[in-house]
Amino acid sequence: MAEGQGRKDRPQRVTMAAIGRIAGVSQVTVSRALSNPSKVSPETLQRIHAAIDQTGFVPNAIAGALASRRSMLISALVPSITNLTYSSMIHAFSEGLREAGYQILLSETGFSPEDEERAIKLHLSRRPDAMMLTGVSHSAGARRALIGADIPVVELWDISESPVDFCIGFSHEAAGRAVADFAAARGADEAAVIYARDARAKRRKAAFAERFTALTGGGVADPGLDLEASLLAGRQAMAALMDEQGFDGGLVFCSSDMMAHGAMTEVQARGRQVPEDFAVVGFGDQEFATGTVPPLTTVRVDRERLGRQAASELIARIEGRGSGDVSVDLGFEMIRRGSA
Amino acid sequence: MAEGQGRKDRPQRVTMAAIGRIAGVSQVTVSRALSNPSKVSPETLQRIHAAIDQTGFVPNAIAGALASRRSMLISALVPSITNLTYSSMIHAFSEGLREAGYQILLSETGFSPEDEERAIKLHLSRRPDAMMLTGVSHSAGARRALIGADIPVVELWDISESPVDFCIGFSHEAAGRAVADFAAARGADEAAVIYARDARAKRRKAAFAERFTALTGGGVADPGLDLEASLLAGRQAMAALMDEQGFDGGLVFCSSDMMAHGAMTEVQARGRQVPEDFAVVGFGDQEFATGTVPPLTTVRVDRERLGRQAASELIARIEGRGSGDVSVDLGFEMIRRGSA
DNA sequence: TTGTAAGCGTTATCAG
DNA sequence: CTGATAACGCTTACAA
């Protein structure tokens, strides 16, 4: 269906004006028929729709956006789309928006602030009606551009005192400490951390380590590896912990359920027991967490609610009736299952 | 940053005309400076960029798209974004496009043709320069709209004799048969299938079952469940197979690695052996497939290549230099590991 | 209920 | 190298 290879004659597209000509009305009436049918007489409406069906007319939303100054586009930036944490967030987020007639312009930013800034500016050129970002840490240039854009901006999956506009998430430090409290209450006197290349994951593990040591005096082994949030990486980290860090028992706090699953796999592959020898705690409470053997003890964050709430608040702000909240802490929940 | 709640005075945006006024040139020259700098004198260029920096000007891509009739937007439709199969496809796909300056308009269509048709029409109203669809089965209305749009359309993850425009993928039937051949060669005389609510998965299992029976005369147990492609669903299906279908040994072909992982988990949780009692074959060769115990035997499809090739061919066609291919079969590969 | 006129902020075309 | 001027296809007043 590619356009004729470089031909000059463009394939005369169907416009509202054309529909109007066929239906015997002006272009404006066609526009009205589509956006405000109640203001057009039934007979006219019928003729217009007949013309639309006949021609297969699809309105040009670009022109509409330019004229109305509303793009009905929401841009969303996440570090990675293949990471279930973020993809499920987007899923919930876009559902609410789709229902309200918005579409999603999506980009991956990796974990680099520079890439994010570039992506933000590119997105802003599309004049989205609002924007969703992951996390609260952005480059100065990004913040400036965002503020200049003068649209609602929600930062998800973290909280901050000074968001660009507003944020919905939870405290990663508090989550790390909660796991440390859990570990201590459970009687662990040695601990280790497994984490991926993700600033937020590192903040959780740092808070965990500090609290765990303060509480128990025990050490916290760290493989010091730069990893993806994958099962394999979890296995590797667990292996490194045992082979190189001399970690021979205790509780392991992993930055994602996937890595936790990998850690368990490695422990069991070596004939050791979970949770007896090594207790494992994940993060995220992914769907599969109840399906592992033993079922995974983890930290649940209600991503569904996070996404939905972000969507509805964004819509509210677009319509000028936002709550005015600057930071919404949705919290998290320790889910104790069998692995710790 | 929401606009003043319903105020009348719009916040006077910065336009190319404004930049021109500051730099002492006309609006057109600003446009040129941005899209074709070589045609503007160095001094002028400098003044223009100074004005841009000073104001934080971000060009309006909507207006640009309307005037140039090129949106630099590619729309992509996938059944689900939380399914790693599709999200990794999009990831590879969008990478190539981003490099060429395109942005991605993404929607999830679920597994319903009606939803897909609706989404396609909505996307088409944005005048994307090209479109990516998952699979080759679309409603008549969708095909009509697509053809009328007169843009390159690639259908991914399947092949067909008569795509809307062109397709890149592999034969799901051939994949199912290949697994059956593998099973027979391996000496399996009983088999079972575990599959998700996905038309393509069902085609693979049907082809598998037919070939397996033809080859070995053995039966193929089917739990007949309507499931998600999740680990838990895999466990449930495996349990149903053993408890309700009397399946007590043989090879299980699963429609995804995740389900296969679940099936293995269930087998092992019951104290039975993989692959001795139950051989398990997955589909997709996800990253974690090498990390399971035993490592998962599966069917690999090169999603990376699929996505990249789709992107580059789409760009080529947009520029009027497409290959003209109608259907590209990238094939698949049986990866024998420990689970079967 | 319908129509006219004036943008929306760019790019394309043609002159100079 | 630079600038008028005319689209691009729609929405938003304002009139009739």
- One-letter amino acid for residue A208 of the chain: F
Chain A: closest CA distance from residue B340 (Å):
18
> Each residue of A52-92: pLDDT tens digit?
999 999 999 999 999 999 999 999 999 999 998 999 999 99
Number of A to B CB contacts under 8 A, please give it.
185
Instruction: Read off the DSSP letter of residue B25.
Output: S
Q: Which of A168, A172, A194, A125 is nearest to A305 (CA)?
A: A168
- Inform me whether the pLDDT recorded for B194 exceeds 70: yes
- One-letter amino acid for residue B61 of the chain: A
Query: A124, B230: Cβ pair inside 8 Å?
Result: no
Instruction: Read off the DSSP letter of residue B156.
Output: E
Chain B: closest CA distance from residue A311 (Å):
14
The integer distance in angstroms from the CA atom of B121 to the C1' atom of C7 is: 28
pLDDT score recorded for residue B11: 55
Strands (E), A99-159: 103-108, 130-134, 153-156
The CA-atom distances, in angstroms, between B248 and each of B123, B239, B251, B279 are: 49, 11, 10, 11
Q: Do domains B71-170+303-331 and B172-300 have the same CATH topology?
A: yes
- The model carries a pTM of 0.92
> Each residue of B217-228: pLDDT tens digit?
999 999 999 999
Domain boundaries, chain B: 15-59, 71-170+303-331, 172-300
Q: What percent of chain A has pLDDT over 70?
A: 96
CATH code assigned to B71-170+303-331: 3.40.50.2300
Q: Which of B135, B138, B102, B104 is nearest to B121 (CA)?
A: B138
- Inform me whether the pLDDT recorded for A11 exceeds 90: no
Query: A71, B58: Cβ pair inside 8 Å?
Result: no
> Each residue of A264-275: pLDDT tens digit?
999 999 999 999
Q: What percent of chain A has pLDDT over 90?
A: 93
The pLDDT confidence band at residue B13, using thresholds 50, 70 and 90, is confident
Determine contact, residues B20/B40, Cβ cutoff 8 Å: no
Residue B339, C-beta contacts closer than 8 angstroms, at least 6 positions apart: B260, B264, B274, B275, B279, B280, B281, B282, B292, B294, B295, B296, B297
Contacts of B62 in chain A (CB under 8 A): 62, 65-66, 71, 126-127
Chain A: closest CA distance from residue B86 (Å):
9
Residue A55: CB less than 7 A from any atom in strand D: no
> Each residue of A246-265: pLDDT tens digit?
999 999 999 999 999 999 99
Q: Which helix (H) or strand (E) holds B110?
A: none
- Inform me whether the pLDDT recorded for B8 exceeds 50: no
Q: Which residue of B has its CA nearest to A147?
A: B1
Query: B127, A62: Cβ pair inside 8 Å?
Result: yes
Query: A148, B123: Cβ pair inside 8 Å?
Result: no
Q: How far apart are the first and last CA of chain A?
A: 57
Q: Which of B66, B131, B45, B61 is nearest to B101 (CA)?
A: B61
Residue B67: CB less than 7 A from any atom in strand C: yes
Query: A59, B122: Cβ pair inside 8 Å?
Result: no
CATH code assigned to A172-300: 3.40.50.2300
Q: Choose the closest CB to A164 out of B1, B122, B317.
A: B1
- Inform me whether the pLDDT recorded for A135 exceeds 70: yes
**What's the gap between Cα B161 and its chain centre?**
20
**Residues in a beta bridge with A334:** A299
Quote the CA–CA distance of A244 and B259 in Å, as a whole number: 34
The pLDDT confidence band at residue B264, using thresholds 50, 70 and 90, is very high
Instruction: Read off the DSSP letter of residue B249.
Output: S
The rounded mean pLDDT for chain A is: 94
The integer distance in angstroms from the CA atom of A282 to the C1' atom of C8 is: 51
CATH code assigned to B15-59: 1.10.260
Q: Which of B279, B281, B288, B261 is nearest to B333 (CA)?
A: B281
